[in-house]
Structure 1
Amino acid sequence: MTSIRLPAGYTVSTDPTLLDRESVHRWLSEDSYWALGRPREKQDRAIDHSLNFGLYEDASGAQVGYARVVTDHATFAWLCDVYIAREARGRGLGTALTAAVRDGLAELGLRRLLLATRDAHEVYAKVGFAPLALPEKWMLLGEQ
């Protein structure tokens, strides 16, 4: 698996006290295609019950990225809500954040780490994600 490092000047943390919840909510509810209109209360609940990865500028401490993982910490994880602030895009931060999530979860020995994306397949492929080999095995209850 390819080693991908964060660009100099950035740090990833899973410390929930560092999260800028207001920015995360604004990014996702106003600028993502998958969570438009998500209420703040629902976003806070999602954060509270997930493993969260914040991406921060070292110089200012400002949060510029976010990723959320829903997991049992034993066999399975779902990567979702991956977002890089518009002003920080184009620096490889999305790929680096996803690699940090992958590497951070490696010690758990998970059998599967899944995600869904409409338009960022190339970002996730750089980190090792691939299309489902047997999509006919998978089923869904809820929104397509």
Structure 2
Amino acid sequence: MEHKAAEDIVISSDKALLDVERIHAFLASAYWSTGIPREVVERAIQGSLCFGVYKAGAQIGFARVITDHATFAYLADVFIVEAEQRQGYGKALIAHIAEALGRLRLRRTMLATADAHGLYRQFGFSPLEKPDRFMEINVKDIYQQENAGTS
């Protein structure tokens, strides 16, 4: 599925178009996935519904959705490269994803963010209604632990 989201970008869910090297480079330095190995990024892409953002043929953004396509989705690894931020591309990407997920009529879509609450609020995301019902296993710095043994 391809969608012309703004005058100068295209958003596509075609995994064949993804620039995995660019995605890995960004995620390896992102606050939520520092040091992530390329092999892990490749596996994550394989198991997810992915969206690439392209400007003049070059990938400038990415997001992936982990979903069962019936009841639940988790939005992850959303980014627009720094040089292209603050031009509405992130908003266009989230609008595109919200439209795609809306067609699935999911019961719950979740995400975690440290700094983009305002963006996601525009598309109906809100803090957990009953956070006491949610639990997690959170292995902090997992990629640093893995890489420590391979140096």
Asked if these proteins are the same fold (TM beyond 0.5), I'd say yes
Deviation at 1:101, TM superposition (A): 0.7
What amino acid sits opposite 1:127 in the alignment? F
- Quote the Cα distance in structure 2 between the aligned partners of 1:16 and 1:100: 16
Partner residue in 1 for 2:11: 12
Q: Report the alpha carbon displacement of residue 97 of structure 1 after superposing the two structures with TM.
A: 0.6
Aligned-residue CA RMSD in angstroms? Answer: 1.3
Structure 1 unaligned segments of length 5 or more: list them.
Answer: none
* Structure 1 contact 95–127 (Cα < 8 Å) conserved: no
SS at match of 2:124: coil
Question: Which residues of 2 match residues 111-126 of structure 1 at below 5 A?
Answer: 111-126=107-122
Which AA in structure 2 matches 1:29? A
Using the TM superposition, name which of 134-143 and 104-113 deviates more: 134-143
Moved over 3 A (4+): none
C-alpha displacement of 1:122: 0.5
Query: Which residue of 90, 110, 129 maps to 2:125?
Result: 129
Partner AA of 1:78 in structure 2: Y
1-structure distance, mates of 2:5, 2:12: 12
Select the structure of larger CA radius of gyration. Answer: 2
Match in the other structure for 2:41: 43
Separation in 2 of the partners of 1:126 and 1:6?
17
Tell me what 2:138 maps to.
Answer: 142
Residue 73 of structure 2, aligned match among 65, 74, 77: 77
% identical equivalent positions:
46
How many residues align? The count is 137
Deviations 1:3-61 (A, max 9, x none): xx93311111000000000000001102x10011000000001001110000111xx21
Task: Establish whether residue 63 from structure 1 lines up as the match of residue 62 from structure 2.
Answer: no
Q: Secondary structure at the match of 2:104?
A: coil
**In structure 1, the residue corresponding to 2:6 is in which secondary structure?**
coil
> 1:141 offset after TM fit, Å?
2.0
Alignment-derived partner of residue 23 in structure 1 = 22
Deviation at 1:125, TM superposition (A): 0.7
How far apart in 2 are the matches of 1:56 and 1:142? 33
| Partner Cα separation in structure 2 for residue 122 and residue 92 of structure 1 | 13
Greater relative CO (CA pairs within 8 A, separation 6+): 1
Residue type at the aligned position of 1:84: I
Q: For residue 95 of structure 2, what is the aligned residue in structure 1?
A: 99
* TM superposition shift of 1:130: 0.9
